Amino acid sequence: MGIDARIFKTLERNNINVSIVSQGSSERGIGLVVDSNKAKWAKNALDAEFEGDYATKDINMITVMEEVSVVSIVGQDLSTFHLPYNALIKNQIVPLLFNNTVSGKNVSLVVKKTDLNKALNVMHGQIFGISNKVNLALFGHGNVGGTLIDQILKSAKSIEERKGIDVRIFAIANSRKVLFDKKGVSKNWKHAIQEKGISYTLDDIFAYARDNHLENLIAVDNTASQDFVGHYLDFVSNGFDLVSSNKIANTLGFDYYRSLRAELAKKQKQYLYETNVGAGLPLIDTIKLLHLSGENITRIKGVFSGSLSYIFNTFSESEKRFSEILKDAMNSGYTEPDPREDLSGNDVGRKLLILARELDLSNEFPDIDIENLIPETLRKGKVEEFLTQLDVLDEKFEAIKERQQQDHVLRYVGDLYGDLQKEKGILEVKLISVPKQSALGQVKGSDSIIEIYTESYGEHPLVIQGAGAGAAVTARGVFGDILRIADKGRKI
């Protein structure tokens, strides 16, 4: 008698009902689901039946998997089963067994009991057209982070209506405290942090997401912390996609840059950072797509820093002293608390490096030729001390301004050029004098402007211009990245 017939006869004889049966074509085994209180009994009975077959090696082993749950999707057409299945995999739930009934549109899934709640959550959304929940953990709730939270809360309803994506913030954290809310924080989140914020480790956040069966997890980094970047891979292995306005992960060593991407690919997770350069301006995505489609990008040049744009635009137009304008910029919050962070040119250098790497160039930070605007004697020491010695800067920049040709203005630019098909490009960050009538010369206020030169566009670059800094536009750019991730893979 064949194996299958003997199995079912044996179970029959022992009064054990079988629900799911799954046997593959190459007859490597057969899977049976029985009531958990009969599992041991079933195994004993089958062991006895097949005792002789063990010896002849016709049967290899019979194992029992405990603590499983059966999910049955009734009415499931296989032409749309990829949607709930994708949702499961995206949320790191791997079924132990699945099969369907030929007629009757019925799919059965066996999952670990611990995965059951989350499995039902994620599949419900896909199957019943209920909105897909996206659960965010936000790190940093200062200027950009705080604005983002408000933007999300304001738009959540209309995004759900129009795209079927239900965006929720289940955790808001800074370096000290976290506020949890599995149903999503509400408008009074600032007050709630004060009242209910608790100190935490990242493991607490992972555990909270797990214990509450939260699906479609995205970690959003609006900090400027290098420590936090060190945990990106922990997020990835805990099932999070990543969005960040933090530039650090993209400007560390090129080896790290590449290994982060390899790990993301392996774990099928995404990392988006459109706001790393030019805040909400559509720069990185544009460059990525041009490059991918084989467009030969020959040069990228522009004013990348909102604060330095403001400072030199004002300095070029007005009679005010440089120090006065710098202090205005500081008071308006355009600069970092220590304005030397901006004037050092490192921030612009980082942005240029990020773009270079998007073009598959393997440049490193020390490759960048950066003109530091701060005289060497003023580079160290406290900011208060620095601010008492601004006369030196006034003298320096007044002289540069006067040396210019007529109708020229000063601009602090980043410039990526060279043979960009090779391994490394030339990256320069420097103060230049340009005709007032040129595109760079026309930039106003704290706007950024980026010129992308390509083979197809020839001498006329593609120009993208607008507010390249500021909480509202940066937050909107981060929001865009979140929606791109939420949208991808929803339908194929």
Name the minimum Å distance from CB 375 to a copy of itself.
32
Query: Judged by CB under 8 A, which of 317, 360, 369, 395 binds a copy of itself?
Result: 360
- List of residues 6+ apart from 394 with CB closer than 8 A: 321, 322, 323
Query: Judged by CB under 8 A, which of 282, 333, 375, 381 binds a copy of itself?
Result: 282
Site for a copy of itself in 52-81 (CB under 8 A): 63, 65, 70, 72, 74, 77-81
Q: Which of 118, 133, 269, 351 is catalytic?
A: 351
- How many residues touch a copy of itself under the rule CB under 8 A: the total is 107
Q: What span, in angstroms and rounded, lies between the C-alpha atoms of 141 and 478?
A: 13
464 binds a copy of itself (CB under 8 A): yes
Name the minimum Å distance from CB 22 to a copy of itself.
4
Kindly state the tokens that stand for 169. 């913030």
Q: Is residue 433 packed enough to be buried (19+ CB in 10 Å), middle (13-18) or exposed (0-12)? A: middle
258 binds a copy of itself (CB under 8 A): no
Give which of 338, 304, 326 is closest to 467, Cα–Cα.
Answer: 304
14 binds a copy of itself (CB under 8 A): no
90 binds a copy of itself (CB under 8 A): yes
**83: part of which helix (H) or strand (E)?**
helix 82-90
Interacting span for a copy of itself (CB under 8 A) from 26-34, 252-260, 401-409, 422-430: 26-34
Query: Judged by CB under 8 A, which of 134, 144, 159, 429 binds a copy of itself?
Result: 159
Site for a copy of itself in 412-441 (CB under 8 A): 437, 439
| 3-class SS of residue 39 | helix
| 3-class SS of residue 221 | strand
How many alpha carbons fall within 13 Å on the CB side of residue 421?
Answer: 5
How many alpha carbons fall within 13 Å on the CB side of residue 149?
Answer: 25
The position carrying tokens 């774990």 is 267
Q: What span, in angstroms and rounded, lies between the C-alpha atoms of 114 and 36?
A: 15
215 binds a copy of itself (CB under 8 A): no
- Decide if 351 is catalytic: yes
For a copy of itself, give the closer residue by CB, 161 or 211: 161
For a copy of itself, give the closer residue by CB, 345 or 468: 468
95 binds a copy of itself (CB under 8 A): yes
Q: What span, in angstroms and rounded, lies between the C-alpha atoms of 284 and 291?
A: 10
Query: Judged by CB under 8 A, which of 355, 373, 420, 483 binds a copy of itself?
Result: 483
Pairing mode, if any, of strands 369-370 and 97-101? unpaired
Interacting span for a copy of itself (CB under 8 A) from 126-134, 195-203, 282-290, 338-346: 282-290
Phi and psi angles of residue 291, each rounded to the nearest 5 degrees, phi first: -65, -45
263 binds a copy of itself (CB under 8 A): no
Interacting span for a copy of itself (CB under 8 A) from 115-123, 245-253, 291-299, 380-388: 291-299
Query: Judged by CB under 8 A, which of 129, 142, 375, 445 binds a copy of itself?
Result: 445
**22: part of which helix (H) or strand (E)?**
strand 21-23
- Taken in order 123, 125, 129, 130, the sign of the CA dihedral is positive
Query: Judged by CB under 8 A, which of 175, 186, 318, 456 binds a copy of itself?
Result: 456
Interacting span for a copy of itself (CB under 8 A) from 46-54, 127-135, 199-207, 280-288: 280-288
Radius of gyration of the chain measured on its C-alpha atoms: 30
Q: How far apart are the first and last CA of the chain?
A: 46
Tell me the catalytic residues: 351
